[in-house]
Structure 1
Amino acid sequence: MYKAFKAVLALLVTFAITIPAVAVDVSWDMAMVGPADNKVVDGSVDGYRFGIGTDTDTPQPRVVANFDSICPDLTAGTNELRVAVVIDFGDQTQAPEGETAPESKTACVVVPAGSSSADALAKAAEIRSESGLICGIDGFPATECAAEATVGDITGYRYWGFYTSDPSADPVPISMEAEAVSDVEESSNLLLWAVLTLAVTIFVFVTIRRRLSKN
């Protein structure tokens, strides 16, 4: 019985420690086509983030993809579409040597129906491209284009990632994302202490009972 109790105790502690954290969606989706091939719709939010992308990780824009909060007063005429453009210049640690990553910016543009994300971006910023690939936005980076780079333990290509957001989605503010993760961590800690307290109580009871049975 004592060995069985120790096995159950170990299982309970392992369960309490390994409770997974929740992932909160901020509504960005990696585009499956380039900006020139992506047709915008009214209320679209297009995002661009500069950074080092790998096979398993591509940095997303750090601005919440919420059209109403970015462009609350934007209006459009007949056969025109409203588009919010988010441009995140990335972390300074991943910027090319000698260059400073500008602050993130947003822009609200109106384009004719049938326009692409590239058309919207061209109205929001100055673009430098090569063979259809976006190399620089508003002069950043100055010269390189999708160059291979290593920063710390991250090795990949430094480029502008393109993201889109479904206008019908209900995005979760980043502040709520942090609160959700914090709530899960707090609940996990409380459960861990409850399990440990129960386990210690049972252990003391079993130990006393074993000693009394020997007497």
Structure 2
Amino acid sequence: MTAKRTVRLVLSLVAGLLLAGTATTQAHAEDGFRFWGYYQWTSSQWSFAQRGPDAVVPADGSVEGWRYAVGGAKPRVPRAAGDFEAICSGAPAEAGKKRVAVVIDPGTGEDEQPGEVVGLATGTCVVTDPKSNGAQVLAAAKPTRIEKGLTCGIDGYPSKGCGEPVKNIKVPASDPQVQLSIARPVGSSVVSDEPSDNSVESRSVWWPYLIVAVVLIALIVGGLILVRARRSRA
């Protein structure tokens, strides 16, 4: 086993123990980490992934989840349900491809990386090759920052740092649910009926010329009618 894989395995085990372990019975505050957690939506609830995203091949119709938070013994799951139908409603099934819904929750202001601003929780339908693993599905949904084999940033958040330890954390008993911002599907070859931004821009550029052409035609036709009227009177 290479040194890189060893480091990744150790960090994964530490994260798993912190998230899946039982809560301490002592009164003092616990210590934890600030990081992106990886989850799967199963049996109508989020469960912490037991393997890294590069070792998971999500099936067609599955939902992957990512949550940035300060975590300890209690899992900090995404704050929105993994509603596949809602997230992938705009992406019809395609032969030879799979659809995976990806929920990305950057967390709350209390969890945010100092000096950075938390964005909205989003849901994206990724249409991709059936063999794509969880890391590839995530990268298709949003840009990722990978360091030492760990997912340290998603869609530019946070811009730096990775899994820093945090002392005396206070994890809330529960997080209020949020409404997902549904993004456009990615990887779909189905052409949308809605006009693209380019087509709208093209119409905005050409419509003045169309008006000028209509006015010229009207003037020409009016002139011909006037000439014929004069000839008929002569």
Same fold by TM (over 0.5)? yes
Q: 2:113 aligns with which of 88, 96, 99?
A: 96
Corresponding letter in the other structure for 2:49? A
Please give the alpha-carbon distance, in whole angstroms, between the structure 1 residues aligned to 2:134 and 2:142.
12
Structure exhibiting the larger radius of gyration computed from Cα positions: 2
- Partner residue, 1:63: 80
1:45 corresponds in structure 2 to: 63
User: What SS does structure 1 have at the residue aligned with 2:125?
Assistant: strand
Deviation (angstroms), 1:78: 2.1
One-letter amino acid of the structure 2 residue matched with residue 31 of structure 1: A
Distance 1:36 1:76 in 2: 24
TM-score by length of 1: 0.57
Give the root-mean-square deviation of aligned CA atoms: 1.9
Q: Percent identity?
A: 35
Mapped to 1, the partners of 2:170 and 2:76 lie a distance apart of 15
CA shift digits 1:24-75 (9 cap, x unpaired): x741111110111110111110000000111x21200011112012212322
CA contact (8 A) 1:47 1:86 kept: yes
Following superposition of structure 1 onto structure 2, how do residues 63-212 of structure 1 map, counting pairs within 5 Å? Answer: 63-150=80-167, 153=170
Q: Which runs of 5+ in 2 are unaligned?
A: 1-42, 172-176, 179-234
- 1:27 and 2:69 equivalent? no
Kept in 2: contact 1:93–1:151 (CA 8 A):
no
Report the alpha carbon displacement of residue 77 of structure 1 after superposing the two structures with TM: 2.3
Whole-Å Cα distance in 1 between the matches of residues 44 and 58 of structure 2? 19
More relative contact order, 1 or 2 (CA 8 Å, 6+ apart): 1
Instruction: Write the deviation string for residues 160-186 of structure 1: whole angstroms up to 9, x where unpaired.
Output: xxxxxxxxxxxxxx69xxxxxxxxxxx
Q: Distance in 1 between matches of 2:167 and 2:110?
A: 10
Aligned residue identity for 1:57: K
TM-score, normalised via structure 2 length: 0.53
4+ residue runs over 6 A deviation: none
Structure with greater helix percent: 1
Is the CA contact 2:57–2:132 (under 8 Å) kept in the aligned structure 1? yes
For the 8 Å contact 2:66–2:103, the answer to whether it is kept is yes
Deviations 1:83-104 (A, max 9, x none): 1110000011111111111111
Q: Which runs of 5+ in 1 are unaligned?
A: 1-24, 155-173, 176-215
Aligned residues: 131
Query: Would the aligned equivalents of 1:111 and 1:119 in 2 still touch at CA under 8 Å?
Result: no
